[in-house]
Amino acid sequence: MKIMNNNTLKIIPEPVKSSINDGKFFINSRTKLISNDLTDDVLKFLRKFLKDYKGLNLNQEEFSHTINYDNAIILKVMNSNKTMQKESYTLQISKALIEITAGEVNGIFYGIQTLIQIIFLENIVIDEKSETITLPCLKISDYPRFKWRGFMLDEARHFFGKETIKKLLDLMALLKFNIFHWHLTDDQGWRIEIKKYSLLTEIGSKREGTIVPNAKIARSKGKRKVETDNIPVDGFYTQEDLKEIIQYANERYITIIPEIDFPGHVVAALASYPKLSCNGGPFKVSSLFGVHKDVFCIGNEQVFEFSKDVLKEVMKIFPSKYLHVGGDEVPTRRWNTCEKCQTRIAKEGLNNTKELQEYYTSRICSFLKSHEHILIGWNEILYDNLDIDAVCQYWTNNFDLVLDHIKKGRKVIMSEMSTIYLNYPIELTPLRKTYEYDPLPTELEENYVQNVLGLEACLWTEIVKDSKMVELRIIPRLLAVGEIGWSPKEVKNFERFEEKLNSFYKILDYYKIGYD
């Protein structure tokens, strides 16, 4: 037996441990697919792939302990094995069998994703027309480094539609991502149907055109030079659309976390319901990117009624216990001169307008908690009295404050803007820089490491106008993020990753994902 030491197989993300043996296994029309009640659905996923990829329409059978299987693919959940890490799996290919074992079904699914990559990259092709797939005998033991392996897509700025999202979910599954963070509302568009407030999509989902940032100097989410683009943008997801996509994600063991941005980045909502503002409007869905001075009026109790009503509908649609409320880039200019906001400050004993956002966030956090949900917000939401269960997503500035909250017990998701924001051209954030990013801060002592949930790559779409541009922005850096999130630090190697990347493009071709 040859121990591969993670330097032969071209799998992305790199497995924890792998070895290769002499011999081959042949997947052919006589190969059986063996499952039980727990693994039925994931086996159907594999069965469909084999049929689509190679025309193999394999029989699926119920597992039996009394049968000595041969020429079979067997999936087994080992409930009694309490030592297996969450999401871990073992994949073993012998001359007689392919066996994937795991402590939980999602581990089986990740093992299937690895098997699919092996089929693409290690299949010994003798005859292109043959239905037989020839694989090397091997063993892989694998588990993730971080439990939160996410990708965020901003669909408020540009709308891409269901098929684009499903294709992204397929890619994420292949790379063993488990979180899709979906930014659905902002100043430039409201993309989610809320039945109680129908104007949010009747008005808020449409804008006349766009003033877009100059890509060469788009260095932050703040003020930027702009150029004009007169192409109208519209579109939104009905609640039925969302349920369909959620089901698709669930089948791939991906949790969708919606982001409804409050109390800033709300011009699309104010265009629909101007009474929620400090000055009453009127407003238009913004065609200008950047930070907008018009935000929710925190002195207006209707704002809290609206926020809770919206979140109630969102919670009914999305099964995730987490809900992202944004909270970044909230200017206080309107609050400084708003009579209602100043009255709120006096009534609640607040010190200044800055504390109005803290007051708003605390009330929303308490509301979500009363519904057994956990609030996530960008790092601007942090303050000492915020409920300890609220999760911080770090993107930029004041990392010392974030580090302090980690040490106090708060959970944090790392989305370092300068390394894993994929909207920046690769010339500004090169592949190596992304690949070498470590979500664990060097200043963090070992006993606090568990408070870093993991990482999330982000794609903001001010200058990303269509599905093709989405793919060109995320490839190849999303593959690097997949390896950061899953693979142990000690098995990562950038030169090796580049070699694997050259082979991986044939998989992207199969899934019709574009790249440069």
pLDDT, tens digit, 9 for 90 and up, residues 42-87: 999 999 999 999 999 999 999 988 899 999 999 999 876 667 788 9
In the prediction, which pLDDT does 215 show?
Answer: 42
Confidence bin at 219 (pLDDT 50/70/90): very low
In the prediction, which pLDDT does 81 show?
Answer: 60
Instruction: Give CA 407 to chain center in angstroms.
Output: 25
For the chain, give the mean pLDDT. 93
Contact 27, 47 (CB under 8 A): no
In the prediction, which pLDDT does 84 show?
Answer: 77
One-letter amino acid of 438: D
In the prediction, which pLDDT does 213 show?
Answer: 54
Over residues 395-404, the mean pLDDT reads 95
Residue 12, pLDDT above cutoff 50: yes
Token duo for residue 516: 């440069």
Residue 6, pLDDT above cutoff 60: no
In the prediction, which pLDDT does 82 show?
Answer: 66
Cα–Cα distance between 324 and 335 in angstroms, integer?
A: 23
Residue 128, pLDDT above cutoff 90: no
pLDDT, tens digit, 9 for 90 and up, residues 161-197: 999 999 999 999 999 999 999 999 999 999 999 999 9
Residue 3, pLDDT above cutoff 60: no
Residue 218, pLDDT above cutoff 80: no
Confidence bin at 222 (pLDDT 50/70/90): very low
Over residues 387-408, the mean pLDDT reads 96
Q: How far is CA 159 from CA 163, 164, 376, in A?
A: 11, 10, 23
> How large a percentage of the chain has pLDDT more than 70?
93
Confidence bin at 5 (pLDDT 50/70/90): very low
In the prediction, which pLDDT does 151 show?
Answer: 99
Where is 120: in which H helix or E strand? Answer: helix 105-122
Residues whose CB is less than 8 angstroms from the CB of residue 5 and which lie 6 or more positions away in sequence, other chains included: none
Q: How far is CA 446 from CA 143, 393, 441, 457, in A?
A: 20, 20, 10, 24
For helices 301-317 and 354-370, the axis angle rounded to 10 degrees is 40
pLDDT, tens digit, 9 for 90 and up, residues 234-285: 999 999 999 999 999 999 999 999 999 999 999 999 999 999 999 999 999 9
Phi, psi of 190 (to 5 degrees): -120, 115
- Three-state DSSP at 164 gives helix
Residue 4, pLDDT above cutoff 50: no
Which domains can be identified in the chain, with CATH numbers? 2-142 (3.30.379.10), 148-510 (3.20.20.80)
In the prediction, which pLDDT does 38 show?
Answer: 85
Confidence bin at 149 (pLDDT 50/70/90): very high
